[in-house]
Structure 1
Amino acid sequence: MASLVQKVTRVVLRLVAAQSPEKAGELAFWLFTRTRSTKPQSEKERKALALAKARMAESETLRLVIPGSVVATHLFRPAQSVAGGQKVLLVHGYRSRSDHMVALADALVAAGHTVVCLDLPGHGASTGRTLHLGKSVEAIDAAWRQHGPFDVFVGHSFGGPSVMAAAAGSILHVPQRRPDRIVTIAAPSNLADVFRWVGKMMGLGAAAQNAFERQVLRFSGRPLSEFRVDRMMHDVCIRTLVIHAEDDKEVAFSNAEAIARTGPNVRLLKANGFGHRRIVSAEPVTQAVVEFLGEEVKAAEIVGLPLPCSKEPNKLAATENGRPRRLA
């Protein structure tokens, strides 16, 4: 059942659309990208933030300026350098914050990795009242310039398409920032699905919906149709771990399957029983991410062979009885 706010929003948008569908689309986009208060929205969230408070205070917090916002980064360092230690960027989802990523950050730090948690605009310790994919990628770029380059991107929920868009260079005015590995957790695969869901919730007619979707071209330089994972990542070969629960009620498991179909460099891991939000701090999930980062580089990569999704021909490596051979 629609709330009073939703009912009022629908009435207002319908009245605006009667005069100008274009204005209705612009207003819908403004409402959609407007961030909410960073105060806890429930007693459960308040307790979770209280538990994370002490650990967050131990991080090195640095604030970075992007257009329209000052974004906070939280740096967690391992106690001592470890061979194979990597630099990891963690990006939370919509209506979340770095505090909810602490369990994952701690697991990675314990394994010897350096972790930077990013608060997206209008979330956590960051300022601003607007968040969309373009703003998210601008924030990731700022973190990269200050703390990077990063070996690994990890994105939960909306953070998933954010890190993939950054790695693919999908936002035209932001430089491509390409890590060696990506982990997505409970991430959507097609932003058009999100826009259609929002438009339906707002009661937009066809003309206003089209105007709503055209706003994406304004902030990204690309149409909404380009922001689906198979198009963003079609020529970007990065080892990727996709983690998702089949019982996720916010982002359907089919999104994970869509990401997994993008190439042989992508692996899908089911994390059933953890839903959409608990999944990011569940111990089996944090350990799976640690193990993914700790995997030995495949022999093919050591000798310079292409990754499975590469279109380049295999290179010959090593010899046997004086003749070149291919490594399996």
Structure 2
Amino acid sequence: MTTHNPAAAFYASPAARGVAALLRGLHRLSPDLGTRVALNLFFTPVPTKWLARSRDVPRPWVQRRLPFEGGHISVWQRSDIEPGRPKVLLTHGWAGDAQQMRPLADTLAAAGLEPVLLDLPAHGRSSGWRSNLLQWVRALFAVTARFGPWDGVIAHSLGALAVSHALARGLPARRAALIALAPPPGQFLRWFAQAIGTDEGLALRMRGHVERREGVSLGLFEPAWLGERVVQPTLLVHDRGDLTAPLSGSETLLAGLGAGRLHVTESLGHRRLLNDPAVMEQVLGHFLMATSATPALRVV
């Protein structure tokens, strides 16, 4: 069976096909130059970030700026919440922003929790134009040092992958909810190379460049590796028909978790999960239940 390549749809437009042709030409002329240009493109979020930076955010949500790696990351809190509530960190996926998580955050606030929203580097109101998964992990530890520890963390897509890795490395949180967990970066690099019409050599060179620069193997983001190391009770929510992030990633992570539960939805795709009332109910219930009541490896 052929695996759907979500990057292929992005490179279907005439402008994107032109970019792909340019990259193929550079790759043939100089693999090293082609790799550098490809990395710059790969780590640049799509232009929806410009819209996110100009969007009005209603009160009582207020923005805090936290210094981070020569710029800042934006953190959002509600001004109407009294201190002492259980704190839950929420963050988005690639090309998303914190405000995508606001409906879920407001649901948590109404139930007596304190939600904290994070714009990851190069997204939303945070500074920067390029970012990568390793920088996202560092941002999670930076915001935790200032606002944590957490009673819970909630993340979507690539943000869920970053949170999984951070939890495996000791991010202090009691519970986690991972929505539409993204595939590992090695898979995205292969999809990217296929979409622009190059061989897998480009994906391998891009991966090697990232691993040398960051000093971390991308294998440490594979679901099987993470599942053995994430110890928190974890709710996984994933749509059966998600074309951006296949359900198999959440299933693989679940198999390694000591205290995991997978809730599978139908016909919600990759992003509509975030606004679905039934999904919000599942997530809220996960954070309100006693830790000892969390079942292991149960699919609902």
Q: Name the TM-score class by shorter chain.
A: 0.7 to 0.9
Matching residue of 1:162: 162
Query: Match of 2:73?
Result: 71
| 1:34 partnered with 2:44 | yes
Do 1:78 and 1:114's aligned partners in 2 also have CA atoms closer than 8 Å?
A: no
The residue that corresponds to 1:274 in the other structure is 268
Give 1:245 deviation, angstroms: 1.0
- Paired residues of 1:63 and 1:73 also in contact (CA < 8 A): yes
Q: 1:16 aligns with which of 26, 34, 39?
A: 26
Shift of 1:137: 1.2
Name the counterpart of 1:312. Answer: none
Ranges in structure 1 where 5+ consecutive residues have no aligned partner: 170-175, 302-306, 310-328
Task: Tell me the residue number matched to 1:215.
Answer: 209
The answer for the alignment partner of 1:148 in structure 2 is: 148
Report how far residue 189 of structure 1 moved. 3.9
**d(CA) in 1 for partners of 2:17 and 2:83?**
55
Alignment of 1:249-288 (within 5 A): 249-288=243-282
Q: Is the 8 A contact 2:77 2:115 kept in 1?
A: yes
Secondary structure of the corresponding residue to residue 50 of structure 2: coil
Asked whether the equivalents of residues 182 and 239 of structure 1 are also in contact (C-alpha less than 8 Å), the reply is: yes
Aligned to 2:61: 59
- CA distance in 2: counterparts of 1:236 and 1:206, whole angstroms: 31
Q: Which residue of 2 aligns with 1:201?
A: 195
Query: What letter corresponds to residue 69 of structure 1 in structure 2?
Result: G
Moved more, 148-157 or 31-40: 31-40
Shift of 1:308: 7.2
Partner of 1:95: 95
Q: CA deviation at 1:260?
A: 1.4
Residues 190-224 of structure 1: CA deviation (Å, up to 9, x unaligned):
22211111111122223322111213303432222
CA shift for structure 1 position 89 = 0.6
Distance 1:25 1:188 in 2: 23
Paired position in structure 2 for 1:110: 110
Q: Which ranges of structure 2 fall in alignment gaps of 5 or more residues?
A: 1-10
Distance 1:17 1:131, change over 3 A: same
**1:308–1:40 distance in 2 versus 1, CA, 3 Å:** closer
Distance 1:281 1:61, change over 3 A: same
Task: Give the TM-score taking structure 1 as reference length.
Answer: 0.79
Match of 2:241 in 1: 247
Identity %: 26
Corresponding residue for 2:135? 135
Conserved? CA contact 1:192–1:224, under 8 Å: yes
Per-residue deviation, residues 103-138 of structure 1 (Å, max 9, x unmatched): 110111111111110011222111100121012112
**Contact 1:68/1:128 (CA < 8 Å) preserved in 2?**
no
* 1:130-149, Cα deviation, whole Å (9 max, x unpaired): 12101211221221111111
Corresponding residue of 1:178 = 172
Greater C-alpha radius of gyration: 1
Distance 1:251 1:297, change over 3 A: closer
Structure 2: how far apart are the matches of 1:247 and 1:28? 29
Q: For this pair of structures, how many residues does the alignment match?
A: 285
Aligned to 2:223: 229
The aligned counterpart of 1:322 is: none
**Secondary structure, counterpart of 2:65 in structure 1:** strand
Instruction: Tell me the SS of whatever aligns to 2:256.
Output: coil
Helix, strand or coil at the partner of 2:246: coil
- Write the distance in 2 (CA, Å) between the matches of 1:91 and 1:207: 33
Distance 2:267 2:226 in 1: 30
TM-score by length of 2: 0.86
